[in-house]
Amino acid sequence: MSRAFLIVMDSVGIGGAPDAHAFFNDGRPDTGANTVGHIAQARPLRMPVLDGLGLGAAVRLASGIDAPGLGAEPRGLWGAASEVSRGKDTPSGHWEIAGVHVPWDWTYFPDADPAFPADVTARICQLAGTDGILGNCHASGTQVIDDFGARHLQTGWPICYTSADSVLQIAAHEEAFGLDRLIALCRDLSPMLHAMRVGRVIARPFGGQPGAFRRTGNRRDFAIAPPGDTILDIAQGAGRVTYAIGKIGDIFSHRGITRLHKGENDAALAEHLVRLGTQAEPGSLTFANFVEFDTNFGHRRDIPGYATQLEWFDGVAGRFLATLSPGDLAIFTADHGNDPSWSGTDHTRERAPVLGWGAGVRGVGQVGFADIGASILAHLGLPAPRHGTSFL
């Protein structure tokens, strides 16, 4: 019985989104944003495994850019995917890849001071048992800890912030505030935010002392549930084992998942993926997210760091593909872009690469995000999701 592996390289976009003009970063439209293309122009990339599958060809197909270093003749399945849902965020991208379009407009908090409505702030204070909150603004997750961490330790007030995504994030010191208390606060706040069509409430624990704060690996996302059955629901409902790696469990509200594997960082998640390449049962579905492209390098506009991460992950992909057997299918893709050469610090609206191992050597052209999930289920011999058409 064949197995399927779906690997999301978080924010590894390839430019060319047809509606990029309708999305903005710091007042600038995303037209022309190209995460992989612009990184390669800054420093040629060495990615023999993923370029061998067709990464460079996918960049050219999506955006017309020849990415320096990515010129291999494709030896796998390759194409470029466009998103329909009106969002360039994690839930929208992942849900659509998994066969469910987002049927509503997300709620975003204004880039103002304060950012949150008074009733939201009051609810946070009530749940936290505090007289106030810190932050209440748009902010970088690392900068906000530097800015407010010392006052947080003095007052005990949670640090609350948002971004251009539909999200409310709460940072608190694991020891001084308490990890369980932070997670409970975010969990209990999330129904109010989900009713407002805010996509996620995220617990962002950190440790250390002033001048040396660091975020820990105990992040928890409380995401609104997908509005329909995803490929995980369909596969599990058919009796298949489903594995989630990284934040997939949080993104899908832990629905349709048999076993969840998390880790301190992408290096730890890579070991889970390589191991499951050897150990996952026949007929199983493994769905993985590697987030550090986005969090550590895209939002921070770190071009050299992003390039190094891409090349590191190419080595992971090589190790993983070496574990697969005839009949298996692996697809590498992305959920949005985060061009580190772009203005602002937010995601960029881009097409995603579609790179497949185990489906022959062929180009599939321009496809939709939902076609990726439909193809995964077709490979597993399962019914198609609500949206998408298999390109296999």
Secondary structure (H, E, C), 308-351: HHHHHHHHHHHHHHCCCCCCCEEEEECCCECCCCCCCCCCECCC
Per residue in 343-360, pLDDT (tens digit) is 998 999 999 999 999 999
pLDDT at residue number 140:
84
Structure token pair of residue 101: 């379009």
299 assigned binding-site residue = yes
Question: Is pLDDT larger for residue 340 or for residue 165?
Answer: 340
Name the average pLDDT for the chain: 96
CB 331 within 8 A of CB 354: yes
Confidence of residue 164 (pLDDT cuts 50, 70, 90): confident
Percent above pLDDT 90 for the chain: 95
66 assigned binding-site residue = no
CB 317 within 8 A of CB 323: no
CB 78 within 8 A of CB 333: no
Structure token pair of residue 114: 């304060």
339 assigned binding-site residue = no
Task: Select from 206, 219, 224, 217 the least CA-distant residue to 134.
Answer: 206
294 assigned binding-site residue = yes
Classified as helix, coil or strand, 57 is helix
- pTM of this structure: 0.91
DSSP string, 150-213: HHHHHH-PPEEEE-SSSEEEEEEEIIIIIHHHHHHHHHHHHHHHHHTT--EEEEEEEES-TT--
CB 173 within 8 A of CB 206: yes
Per residue in 276-292, pLDDT (tens digit) is 999 999 999 999 999 99
Domains identified in the chain and CATH numbers: 4-103+227-380 (3.40.720.10), 118-223 (3.30.70.1250)
pLDDT surpassing 80 at residue 205:
yes
pLDDT surpassing 80 at residue 222:
yes
Per residue in 35-83, pLDDT (tens digit) is 999 999 999 999 999 999 999 999 999 999 999 999 999 999 999 999 9
pLDDT at residue number 217:
85
10 assigned binding-site residue = yes
Per residue in 231-244, pLDDT (tens digit) is 999 999 999 999 99
Structure token pair of residue 174: 């694991």
pLDDT at residue number 141:
85
User: What Å distances lie between residue 353 and 78, 107, 302, CA to CA?
Assistant: 7, 28, 21
